[in-house]
Structure 1
Amino acid sequence: MSSFIGEVIGTMLLIIFGGGVVAGCVLNKSKSQNGGWIVITCGWGFGVAVSVYAVGSISGAHLNPAVTIALATLGSFPWADVPMYIVAQMLGAFLGGVLVWLHYLPHWGATEDKGAKLAVFSTGPAIRSTGANLISEIIGTFVLVLGILAIGANKFADGLNPFIVGILIVAIGLSLGGTTGYAINPARDLGPRIAHAVLPIAGKGDSDWGYSWIPVVGPIIGGVLAALFYKTFFGA
């Protein structure tokens, strides 16, 4: 399997788990409806761990353009491969969104809340404030990338690293996710948002394109800052 296909499959799995747990918690007549924030953060964290286990040995399991760009900034990943990885991540995230829509097909029509439907696919702010929302995504992704780099520098039992990264995702969601829904990943937000825009979702509203640049630009800035911080204070 090529690294391109690995990133497609890994990011698709990530969205199946992450979008799926949100759908289960917010869509009407789901058995897990009203599961709450703890369930959602755990679903995302475990989903990241499984996705990294699935393709880590194939592509390195970046699954996130912010991670790919940060690693390239550090010199740990070739810049020439960055566009290919980002395309794969976007494609995988889009496909994951489509599969979540199919899985919960009867529940879209049973749910009137247009915002809840969009939340299955993409993030949105608790309080809409452009500057504050951008800062939240920068800080969240800074912590993500710094955490990933720090985890990678430690010695764990073989095969444990992806699980520790999953715990990091849960921690970020619990501590920092309440402001914007912690996209911390441009592909995770933009790929499924495109799926929301093009799929025939029953009773959907708009895809909130006015906000959509924040979970793309914020994570990229945060990831680059984390890479520079790590290189300066921890060594490359």
Structure 2
Amino acid sequence: MEIGVTEAVQKHVSRHVVPPKPISQRKLDFEHSRPRWLREMAAEAIGVFFYVYPGIASQASFFLNGTEPVFGSLFQIGWAYAIGIAFAIITCGSTSGGHFNPAITICFAVWQGFPWSKVPRYIFAQIFGSFLAGLLLVGQYYPQLSALAAELRAKGVSPNSLGGPGSVLCSFPGPTQTNYGYLFFIEFFVDSFIGIVIWSVLDPANPFIVPASAPFVIGLAYANMVWGFANVTISTNLARDLGTRIVAAIFYGGDAFGDYSAISILVNVPATLFATLVYEIILRDSFAIIAKGHNVHEE
């Protein structure tokens, strides 16, 4: 029976799938000649672009239409980032490892033996991908964003404030959110939550995750924190925030790098290191990894 079912499935697939074209030696030679480091950097930049672009596009739709529910909500924005992250991992993860976050790259170097020599270029590529996403979005929404910036300036309000064009691109606290210690701890624990989820998803001993589900679980971890704390102001990713913040500074003023920017840019790294430290000390079970054949004892 098994053989019969298998043959039936194979015949069904062969009827509906176009046979692949044979791969030429010329194509193999071309692919082999590409510098590995350049492919990895491009994949990290493209992946971050895929993650950031849908998120800020959703924010643009929301803010430019006066936060009218028909044009979006925090729920929609959370899903935009979640699905964008899933697409980023699916599209580019097989080429570069799918870090898309400087803090994750650093944690891989600390805990998993990722070469430290690659860390600076991965981080540069990640920030560059976010910068490109912000630049493209400003180009696409330039008339609307410029009009909103002019409207806010006429009221004596900086475009780089909550509800302004700058906040479409990156995080800015509300007028009453002046307690930076509070904002620091919110960002720290939000990023720690995401970090633990990512590290657990990447644990080969975790029986609840299969490779096909990993991109969506990681995306949902981000969305979960957007839904819970976006009203408090969070950034969640150094590259995502810094790349688009540079764009905000170029178009809407240097005050994009105000006092809060240090929290939104830098807290992600120590928070994720803390999260992965907790996982490595308390939750990691290396014997289970060895028993499942995913690793070996060094002796």
The answer to whether residue 101 in structure 2 is matched with residue 52 in structure 1 is no
Equivalent residue number for residue 248 of structure 2: 196
In structure 1, C-alpha distance between the alignment counterparts of 2:173 and 2:71, rounded to whole Å: 19
In structure 2, C-alpha distance between the alignment counterparts of 1:23 and 1:208, rounded to whole Å: 20
* Higher Rg of the two aligned structures: 2
Equivalent residue number for residue 269 of structure 2: 220
The answer to whether residue 171 in structure 2 is matched with residue 123 in structure 1 is yes
Q: Deviations over 1:98-122 (max 9, x none)?
A: 0111121221133234232111111
Equivalent residue number for residue 35 of structure 2: none
Q: CA RMSD in A?
A: 2.2
**Which structure carries more relative contact order (alpha carbon 8 Å, separation 6+)?**
1
The answer to whether residue 193 in structure 2 is matched with residue 147 in structure 1 is no
Amino acid at match of 1:120: V
Equivalent residue number for residue 32 of structure 2: none
Amino acid at match of 2:256: S
Equivalent residue number for residue 173 of structure 1: 226
In the alignment, is the contact (CA less than 8 A) between 1:70 and 1:227 conserved in 2? yes
Q: What pairs up with 1:1-236 in 2 under 5 angstroms?
A: 2-28=39-65, 34-111=71-148, 112-113=151-152, 114=159, 115=161, 116-126=164-174, 127-153=177-203, 154-155=206-207, 156-180=209-233, 182-199=234-251, 206-235=255-284
In structure 2, C-alpha distance between the alignment counterparts of 1:25 and 1:205, rounded to whole Å: 24
Alignment size in residue pairs? 232
Bigger mean CA offset, 188-197 vs 127-136: 127-136
TM-score of the aligned structures, taking structure 1 as reference length: 0.89
In structure 2, C-alpha distance between the alignment counterparts of 1:2 and 1:121, rounded to whole Å: 27
| Cα displacement (A) at 1:231 | 0.9
Bigger mean CA offset, 131-140 vs 154-163: 154-163
| Cα displacement (A) at 1:195 | 0.9
Amino acid at match of 1:109: S
In structure 2, C-alpha distance between the alignment counterparts of 1:23 and 1:40, rounded to whole Å: 10
List runs of 5+ in structure 1 lacking aligned partners. none
| Cα displacement (A) at 1:190 | 0.9
Equivalent position SS for 2:235:
coil
